[in-house]
Amino acid sequence: MEEGVLRDDPNASLYDKVCELCGSMRNLLLCSRCRSTWYCCKEHQTSHWKHHKVSCKKPQNPTTEMSRRLDSSMKPGLRANMPDREDASDIIATVGSSESDILKQDTHEIKSRGRPFTAPLPRENSAASKPSETEVNKSSMKPDITTSEEFDAVTEHLREIAIMVAKNLREFGISVVDDFCGQIKGFSILDQVKALYKKGMFRDGQLVSQRADCSTKKIRGDQIVWVQGGEEGCNHIGDLISYMDTVMFLAAQNIRRYTIKSRTEAMVACYPGNSECYVRHVDNPNQDGRCVTCIYYLNRNWDVEKDGGLLCIYPEGHDGIAQIEPKFDRLLFFWSDRRNPHEVFPAYSTRYAITVWYYDRDERAQALKRYKKDEGNAQVNEKKMKSEHL
């Protein structure tokens, strides 16, 4: 076994880089074989090789196993209809999903118990067909969590989910949780999303930049509205955000490379069902602070062969494709940076989702500093141009 060549890795967080031999955080390079161990120079790698060679192995391709774990109900013929990586649309690496909105938003702190839960997370009747009135009444014998014991039980359930999410993010960069809120709560959230859409609250999704030969509509076909969760008629959406926050707050304790303390507002998105798509892109290509993307799906009885709207993630460095059906009450987590280019295939039925992005504290601070500086320079240039025309 030979030691790997040292290479830089632009996707690794600065907070996860340290020389394995001396602990230095300067001028670090990554072992090209295992891509998980750092050294400050070739000499230190050579000196440490007798210890490192025991664990220095090429990383296993996780995507085949990931696809199996993520969606065991995938239709057998669906994979044959998926494009090869080489045939898929070119990634738009400079386009950050809603980045201009993100930089202008206030940062929202996350907490393990940041908002009182107004309903339990029922685990029974998880099929995505709307329950009858009798079923709702039977399942909602206790519509509110009124005791500390009930609250602690829900929190413990979310803690178990958080442990799994952190493990999957570390291992695969992707994690899926099915039947997250339960059928009753899920339908309450869906009803509020539909009400927002009916009121005309949605607008076309925005891009930070785009190619000269593509219109925004061709790149991104969804319509969105930003929600904090405390608005009138959004209490169930607010509960969902609280559940997400609790999972992320607890998962972050086992994700050492990031300091996750805050998030964006919730982006409620709708693909109206007229073949809208979102071409392959990266959520955070420009280090705007987002490190974890969290998406909750609200689509009843969804069949990707008929309804389309499949989310495909192309994990960097791997040949496989993670195929995510936007199923009702499904929660998805993945790294927001260039490690996970992804796209939404054309949707032929109305497709709803709610997305929250979680920030790395230091990257977010640097992004805001750059944004304010750029904004200040733009104002100076605007004043200069006006004065020249007087």
pLDDT confidence bin for 140, thresholds 50/70/90? very low
Cβ atoms of 283 and 96 within 8 Å: the answer is yes
Cβ atoms of 186 and 121 within 8 Å: the answer is no
How does pLDDT run across 361-375, given as a tens digit for each residue? Answer: 999 999 898 888 877
Could you give the residue ranges of the DSSP H alpha helices within 174-234? Answer: 183-198, 216-219
User: Which residue type occupies 202?
Assistant: F
User: Which residue type occupies 177?
Assistant: V
Compute the mean pLDDT over every residue in the chain, rounded to the nearest whole number. Answer: 76
How confident is the model over 104-110, as a mean pLDDT? Answer: 85
pLDDT confidence bin for 346, thresholds 50/70/90? very high
H/E run at residue 256:
none
DSSP letter for each residue of 82-130:
SPPTTTSPPPEEEEEBTHHHHHHSPPEE--TT-S--SS----S--SSSP
pLDDT confidence bin for 316, thresholds 50/70/90? confident
Residue 281 has pLDDT above 70, yes or no: yes
How does pLDDT run across 155-190, given as a tens digit for each residue? Answer: 788 899 999 999 999 988 999 999 999 999 999 999
Residue 251 has pLDDT above 80, yes or no: yes
Give the Cα separation of 217 and 309 in Å (integer). Answer: 16
> Which residue matches tokens 């926050």?
245
Q: Is 181 exposed, middle or buried (0-12, 13-18, 19+ CB in 10 A)?
A: buried
Query: Pairing state of beta strands 92-96 and 276-282?
Result: parallel
Which residues, in sequence order, are CB contacts of 363 under 8 Å at separation 6+? 287, 288, 289, 291
Q: Which of 364, 377, 331, 313 minimizes the C-alpha distance to 158?
A: 331
How confident is the model over 337-349, as a mean pLDDT? Answer: 94
- Please give the structure tokens belonging to residue 101: 């909105």
How confident is the model over 15-36, as a mean pLDDT? Answer: 71
| Category of 353 on φ-ψ map: left (φ > 0), alpha (ψ -120 to 50) or beta | beta
DSSP letter for each residue of 37-78:
-EESSHHHHHHHHHHHTTT--PPP--HHHHHHHH-TT--TTT
Q: What's the pLDDT at 55?
A: 76
Q: What is the pTM of this model?
A: 0.70
Core vs surface per residue 293-323: b (16+ CB within 10 A) or e: bbbbbbbbebebeebbbbbbbbbeebebbbb
How confident is the model over 254-280, as a mean pLDDT? Answer: 93
